[in-house]
Homo-oligomer: A and B are copies of this chain.
């Protein structure tokens, strides 16, 4: 078997093409080091290697899930022998007579050096009005429905820019379900699976009135805010009702650069969000900005009209309000706002945990406005991209 041409499948369905071969191996007390053809250096700890042994004794051939458990070998497990053979790293362990064999494409893909980790990190493409107006990623409905290449193209832009427009969708109610199902199932919420956005006399939330809606994320009252929001325009001949969209990541990065104390307050002080309805009483407590373990902003959670009373230690209250007001004031600045009027057949899709959306008030004396909406979670988007990437 020649590692240079083979693609590799084990303990998963992903492929790991070999782009570099290991050329040097050096063993240390708790880890070994590999030098690659291109000069890159990788360190792999023995525990990590033993844990990732892809043999059929360690991984189920049926489910591709791990059977071996790392706590069943000593903490100081070491190789009796480690060598490079035809590009593979082969190890004979000092316990259980176990041997492992690691594919070079897989090893390189999982190198956890600082360089490799930083190269793997996805970077969102943040936008303000200037960067999005006239540059909105647009796709054709028929294309994304029928062609997996176009679908993948859309989904990657959706992931990176957080917003895209699908044009020329049929205006039949329910069409949205088929388009959303190109990704996966729809996330059900207290508003159902498919929801109709139009003015209703018994509105239980501001969205179902004809009132202006300030910039917000949907369902901050839920532990997991819905990921992608789909808004499909069936009819729009009322005057007013324009959509306004703001990249919350852009506002957050602006604050990080220009008012770091207030950025830090929004990322650390939890707010309380309440829904207020006869049949449900969802509440969730979380900071307006969620950062990942590298400090990158991964989520914005904000809706003025769904906040409950702040519940912070007294000395944090004014600090919170100062930061919150700054964020809101920035979202109101035209330089951050992208305004779009939905036309029948338009489907606007945006990351609800990143892109705040608003709506101008509309006047129903002059026409009707009917949108259908649904949510699909980020998990589904990312999983779909990975599965498409396996073959395309």
- In the assembled complex, A182 has its CB within 8 A of some CB on chain B: no
List of B residues within 8 angstroms of A51 by Cβ: 307, 309-310, 321
Task: Give Cα A274–Cα B382 distance, bound, in whole angstroms.
Answer: 12
A70-B324, A281-B387, A325-B70 known; A65 and B206 CB under 8 Å? yes
- In the assembled complex, A43 has its CB within 8 A of some CB on chain B: yes
How distant is A359 from chain B, measured CB to nearest CB, in Å?
14
How distant is A350 from chain B, measured CB to nearest CB, in Å?
18
Task: Give Cα A60–Cα B202 distance, bound, in whole angstroms.
Answer: 12
Interface size class for chain A? Answer: 35 or more
Among B48, B281, B328, B379, which residue has its beta carbon within 8 angstroms of that of A13? Answer: B281
Interface contact B47-A317, CB-CB below 8 Å? yes
List of B residues within 8 angstroms of A113 by Cβ: 314
Task: Give Cα A64–Cα B63 distance, bound, in whole angstroms.
Answer: 50
Among B222, B318, B387, which residue has its beta carbon within 8 angstroms of that of A45? Answer: B318
Among B45, B205, B283, which residue has its beta carbon within 8 angstroms of that of A65? Answer: B205
Interface contact B75-A112, CB-CB below 8 Å? no
- In the assembled complex, A6 has its CB within 8 A of some CB on chain B: no
List of B residues within 8 angstroms of A392 by Cβ: none
Among B43, B47, B270, B313, which residue has its beta carbon within 8 angstroms of that of A114? Answer: B313
- In the assembled complex, A304 has its CB within 8 A of some CB on chain B: yes
Interface contact A317-B48, CB-CB below 8 Å? yes
How distant is A346 from chain B, measured CB to nearest CB, in Å?
27
Interface contact A71-B222, CB-CB below 8 Å? no
- In the assembled complex, A14 has its CB within 8 A of some CB on chain B: yes
Task: Give Cα A211–Cα B60 distance, bound, in whole angstroms.
Answer: 11
- In the assembled complex, A136 has its CB within 8 A of some CB on chain B: no
- In the assembled complex, A224 has its CB within 8 A of some CB on chain B: yes
List of B residues within 8 angstroms of A311 by Cβ: 110, 112, 117, 120
- In the assembled complex, A276 has its CB within 8 A of some CB on chain B: yes
**Per-position contact with B for A308-334: 1 when CB-CB < 8 Å, else 0?**
011111100110011011001100000
Interface contact B65-A306, CB-CB below 8 Å? yes
Interface contact A284-B379, CB-CB below 8 Å? yes
**Per-position contact with B for A35-46: 1 when CB-CB < 8 Å, else 0?**
000000001010
- In the assembled complex, A11 has its CB within 8 A of some CB on chain B: yes
List of B residues within 8 angstroms of A71 by Cβ: 324-325, 328-329
- In the assembled complex, A5 has its CB within 8 A of some CB on chain B: no
List of B residues within 8 angstroms of A324 by Cβ: 70-71
Residues 175-207 of A at the B interface (beta carbon under 8 Å): 184-185, 187-188, 190, 203-206
Task: Give Cα A131–Cα B314 distance, bound, in whole angstroms.
Answer: 38
- In the assembled complex, A83 has its CB within 8 A of some CB on chain B: no
Interface contact B75-A304, CB-CB below 8 Å? no
Interface contact A209-B312, CB-CB below 8 Å? no
Chain B: which residue is nearest A280 at the CB level?
B383
Residues 347-392 of A at the B interface (beta carbon under 8 Å): 377-379, 382-383, 386-387, 390
**Per-position contact with B for A91-127: 1 when CB-CB < 8 Å, else 0?**
0000000000000000000101110010010000000
Among B203, B214, B283, which residue has its beta carbon within 8 angstroms of that of A382? Answer: B283
Residues 22-70 of A at the B interface (beta carbon under 8 Å): 30-31, 43, 45, 47-48, 51-52, 60, 62-67, 69-70
Interface contact A383-B112, CB-CB below 8 Å? no
Chosen A-B contacts, 16 in total, with CB atoms closer than 8 Å, are A13-B278, A31-B314, A43-B314, A45-B321, A47-B318, A51-B309, A64-B276, A65-B276, A67-B211, A69-B214, A69-B328, A70-B324, A110-B309, A112-B312, A120-B311, A280-B383
